[in-house]
Each structure stands twice: as C-alpha cells, then as structure tokens.
Chains A and B, each alone.
Chain A
Amino acid sequence: MRVNFTVNGRPQEADDVWEGESLLYVLRERLGLPGSKNACEQGECGSCTVRLDGVPVCSCLVAAGQVEGREVVTVEGLADYARQRAEGGCATGAPGTSLDAAKDWRAKGTDSRTGEGAELSTVQQAFIDAGAVQCGFCTPGLLVAADEMLEHHPDPSDADIREALSGNLCRCTGYEKIMDAVRLAAARQSEGV
C-alpha cells in the first residue's frame, strides 16, 4: 500500500509498504532516515522515539498505515523543529526539512569538536557538551523525548526529567550525564542561549 504523510515538515510518500510494517521501518528503510534506531521492536527501549502529531511515541509500535495524513518529526528534523518553535512558527521560507537534507544530517564538526558550527538544537548541543553520548545508539530517542519535555516543562525537576526519559534505555552512561545534559539544556533554554 501507499502511505502519504508529513515528515519533518515536508510531505512524503512511501510506496509498496507492507500492511504490517511499522512506521520505524518506513522511516529507516523506505525514506532513508536511519536516525530513529531499531533495537527492541517492542516499545521497551525508546530508541525509535519520534513525534507523531507532536506526541512522543515508539515508532516501532505505530503501524505504517496509521500515519496516513499525519505529521512525524524525527531526530533528523529536530534542530529545525526546535528552531521554528523558538521563532514562534515559520514566518519565512519553506517550513521543515527536505528529505535530502534530513538524510545528510549529521552533527557536523571537525576533529573531536563535534557540533561546532553545526545547526543543532539546544538539547543536541547540551548532550554533546555534557558528554551524554557514548555509543550513541539511544541518543536519538533521548533527544526527541528530552526536547518534548523541555517544550512543556521549561524548568523541570530531576523527577520530571527521570519520568520523561523513563521509556528510554541507555546501557552505557548510567544516565548521570544524560541528566546533566537535560539540566544544561533547560538552563540554556531559559537564558535564551
């Protein structure tokens, strides 16, 4: 079947989608957006977290056919999404991230200074600066979940952060640096940095 939906602000079309296929598979294998990670396929790990009509969900548990006509934001579109939110919508130019731009998206940088000069959201930059990324596999899901929490709780308590990230597993960091990163992002966001 064919599925039409919006990804990172731009309309997309996926063809030959199997009826039992997940949104995650469509994103990764048909649209070439491998940022959302495939790990547990049962909603346990949160690595595949995306926004579906603004709401964080495990994309491995959304049937592809269910997203027809709906809006999805993946980690590849997170920087643009956050920027447009900060600007209070999109006043100029085409909204969203083109598929090619999304496919090419990476935390640019030179040598070890990853992120320098790149277009990153506050949460993404904070994860890099706080050392919250080790193997990186859980990072996209954590970024999407953390960004959504900061949208609604600009000044979160540690309990708020733990609750918001309780559906995202990380096997490297022990979560402390992830907590640091989200606190840092909240502080920078409130200062308007």
Chain B
Amino acid sequence: MDFLRPASWEEALAAKAEHPTAVPIAGGTDVMVEINFDHRRPEYLLDLNRVGDLGEWEVGEESVRLGASVPYSRIMEHLRAELPGLALASHTVASPQIRNRGGVGGNLGTASPAGDAHPALLAAGAEVEAESAARGTRLIPIDEFYTGVKRNALQPDELIRAVHVRKADGPQQYSKVGTRNAMVIAVCAFGLALHPETRTVRTGIGSAAPTPVRARTAEDFLNAALEEGGFWDSGKIITPSVAKQFADLCSASCNPIDDVRGTASYRRHAVGVMARRTLTWTWESYRGTRRATEGAA
C-alpha cells in the first residue's frame, strides 16, 4: 500500500489521475473501518487532510458551497440557518468523535443508501462539484449522483471538491429511525424541505431503496394539492386526508429490503410516519412564520 499525501488540490487531482484506483481518505470514518477489518486493501490511500480548502465553506446568494471535508460538527455549529435540514441530519451522525472527522464528501463518495446526509441534500436541492485533472470541473445534480448501492456518478479520475446546497427558503426537517440516538445506522430516514419561493415541497428518503431517493410521486401530489387548495396563500392547516395521501405515496416510493436493521414492511411504514410528521412540523413552522410576518406588517 502507498500513502499519497498531496499538499494541494492540484496535486490531489494529479495523483488521482495517475492512480485511478487510489481511495480518497479524509475523515477516515468509513475507509479506516474497512481497512481495520481487512475488508479492503487499497493499493493507494489518497490523504486529503492537507488540502485545507476542502474544510471551508462559502455562503453565496442562492447556495452554500460546502467543502467536501467540512466536518458535520461544523455544519451543526455554523450552517444551521442556511442549511437547517443538513444540520439536523448532521446531528444524527454517529457520535461527537465521528462528527468531528466525517463530512458530506465522504458520505457522497461512499454513497451508502444509509448515509445520513443524503435525504437532506435531496430535499434541499444540491449539486456535487466533481473535478478531474483531465476534464476540469463539473456539477452533478444530486438526483443524478446516486447510481446504485454504494455507487455514484464519479469517474475513476474524479474527486469530490464540494457540494453546492441550496440555501433554505423555508422550513426543513429531518427524521431518522434507529434503536437509540447515538451511534446508529439509519433503519430508514426522511428529509423534507418546503420551498415557499417556488411553492414546492421536496423530499429525500434514506435506507429504504438501493439508493437515496426522492418521493417524486408524493411531491407531485402534494404540490398540486397545496396549489389547488390555496394553502400557500391561506396558510391553513393541511387537511389530514392530504397528509395521509402524501404519507402513503412516500411509503410507495420506497423499495426496501429485509436486513438486520429492519424489515422492508417496517421501513415502508416508518417512512410514511416520518413523511406525515415532517410535513406537519415544517408546515406548522411555515404557518408560524407567515403569522409573524403578517403581524409585523
């Protein structure tokens, strides 16, 4: 095994181009487990810790450019206002020690269906900034990034530099089912974001299909129901039948398996429950904001 230690992003890209089988390591919270358990013996480890700007972020007009190695603990601390869904998801990651090391770039690189960040990214809307020495930078829409179980759209010579996450324009929520609060791989997870500017709702489902997915049919149904009922303008309580239909459609969007963490039918059921709850929580928050705005005006 060789340990490659690029001192800059350009060096990292050159190393990945020269050694496409090199496994990038940043926080190490996935890669080191596989090495410790002899599940993986990469020919090259590509250490990204010395590439400092991977740990930085920029808040722009419409999105946050989040460096691939920004630890979850930083997201929780500094980006709660801009990226509330991702901040909530970050808080459910493992333990403080792991959140101090792991970041969204690793979650995307591993592309496990159980990665905690994915539902939040899908719900908020995001693009993955991938780069190679040969072809430069490209932005991969998050909906096209996950291609299979632990597979993603990256080419062998590409590295993830950052993820551009749309700043919240409305309430966001995140929910995760597990046996306890800390150190839990999701049995299933659900992210939901209201986007009042476009009058749309986006979702993300984790651990209930071969890849993280959006519940598109459920989103389409809810968007139409909210529009037809004038809910965005009136801010009235969402009709229970609408919430139930939304939850059922979210369950139907799952394609889960039975495994040690839970059965397929439990996952479908739990996703429906989380869908209804996160919709209620975010909508109540939206109504509260509206009332506060009207009160001020």
> Which residues of A are interface residues toward B (Cβ below 8 A)?
1, 18-20, 22, 41-44, 46, 49, 55-58, 60-63, 65-66, 68, 145, 163-164, 166-169
Q: Once the chains bind, are B47 and A43 in contact (CB under 8 Å)? A: no
> Which residues of B are interface residues toward A (Cβ below 8 A)?
1-3, 5, 25, 27-29, 31-33, 35-37, 41-42, 45, 47, 49, 94-98, 100-101, 181-183
Q: Which residues of A contact B183 (CB under 8 A)?
A: 44, 166-167, 169
Give, as a whole number of angstroms, the nearest-CB distance from A12 to chain B.
18
Q: Once the chains bind, are B41 and A66 in contact (CB under 8 Å)? A: no
- Provide the bound-state CA to CA distance between A159 and B126, in Å: 33
Q: Once the chains bind, are B2 and A19 in contact (CB under 8 Å)? A: yes
Summarize B's interface: helix, strand, loop or mixed. Answer: loop
Q: Which residues of B contact A41 (CB under 8 A)?
A: 33, 36-37
Q: Which residues of A contact B32 (CB under 8 A)?
A: 22, 43, 60-63
Residue of A nearest to B30 (CB): A61
Residue of B nearest to A17 (CB): B3
Q: Once the chains bind, are B182 and A42 in contact (CB under 8 Å)? A: no
Question: Mind listing 21 A-B residue pairs with CB under 8 Å?
Answer: A20-B1, A20-B42, A42-B36, A43-B97, A46-B97, A56-B97, A57-B100, A60-B36, A61-B27, A61-B98, A62-B28, A62-B32, A63-B28, A63-B35, A65-B3, A65-B45, A66-B47, A68-B5, A145-B96, A164-B96, A167-B98
Q: Once the chains bind, are A43 and B98 in contact (CB under 8 Å)? A: yes
Give, as a whole number of angstroms, the nearest-CB distance from A3 to chain B.
10
- Provide the bound-state CA to CA distance between A19 and B101, in Å: 19
Q: Which residues of A contact B98 (CB under 8 A)?
A: 43, 58, 61, 167
Q: Which residues of A contact B31 (CB under 8 A)?
A: 63
Q: Once the chains bind, are A57 and B101 in contact (CB under 8 Å)? A: yes
Q: Once the chains bind, are B36 and A145 in contact (CB under 8 Å)? A: no
- Provide the bound-state CA to CA distance between A42 and B100, in Å: 15
- Provide the bound-state CA to CA distance between A18 and B96, in Å: 28
Q: Once the chains bind, are A55 and B100 in contact (CB under 8 Å)? A: yes
Give, as a whole number of angstroms, the nearest-CB distance from B37 to chain A.
7
- Provide the bound-state CA to CA distance between A43 and B182, in Å: 12
Given contacts A22-B32, A166-B181, contact A58 B97 (CB under 8 A): yes
Which residue of the partner chain, among A22, A61, A164, contacts B101 with CB atoms under 8 Å? A61
Q: Once the chains bind, are A63 and B95 in contact (CB under 8 Å)? A: no
Residue of B nearest to A163 (CB): B96
Q: Once the chains bind, are B28 and A61 in contact (CB under 8 Å)? A: yes
Q: Once the chains bind, are B33 and A18 in contact (CB under 8 Å)? A: no
Give, as a whole number of angstroms, the nearest-CB distance from B87 to chain A.
15
Q: Once the chains bind, are B97 and A19 in contact (CB under 8 Å)? A: no
Q: Once the chains bind, are A167 and B3 in contact (CB under 8 Å)? A: no
Q: Which residues of A contact B47 (CB under 8 A)?
A: 63, 65-66
Q: Which residues of A contact B25 (CB under 8 A)?
A: 63, 66
Given contacts A63-B3, A65-B47, contact A56 B96 (CB under 8 A): yes
Q: Which residues of B contact A58 (CB under 8 A)?
A: 29, 97-98, 101
Q: Which residues of A contact B3 (CB under 8 A)?
A: 1, 19, 63, 65
Q: Once the chains bind, are B96 and A166 in contact (CB under 8 Å)? A: yes
Given contacts A19-B2, A46-B95, contact A63 B101 (CB under 8 A): no
Give, as a whole number of angstroms, the nearest-CB distance from A97 to chain B.
22
Q: Once the chains bind, are A62 and B1 in contact (CB under 8 Å)? A: no
Q: Which residues of B contact A166 (CB under 8 A)?
A: 95-96, 181-183
Residue with the greatest number of chain A CB neighbours at <10 A, chosen from B31, B49, B97, B182: B97
- Provide the bound-state CA to CA distance between A22 and B3, in Å: 13
Which residue of the partner chain, among B5, B33, B96, contacts A61 with CB atoms under 8 Å? B33
Q: Once the chains bind, are B100 and A56 in contact (CB under 8 Å)? A: yes
- Provide the bound-state CA to CA distance between A61 and B26, in Å: 10
Residue with the greatest number of chain B CB neighbours at <10 A, chosen from A63, A66, A166: A66
Q: Once the chains bind, are B94 and A167 in contact (CB under 8 Å)? A: yes
- Provide the bound-state CA to CA distance between A44 and B37, in Å: 14
Q: A46-B97, A63-B31 are in contact. List 5 more A-B contacts (CB 8 A).
A: A20-B35, A43-B32, A58-B101, A63-B32, A66-B49
Q: Once the chains bind, are A49 and B97 in contact (CB under 8 Å)? A: yes
Q: Which residues of A contact B41 (CB under 8 A)?
A: 20
Q: Which residues of B contact A65 (CB under 8 A)?
A: 3, 5, 45, 47
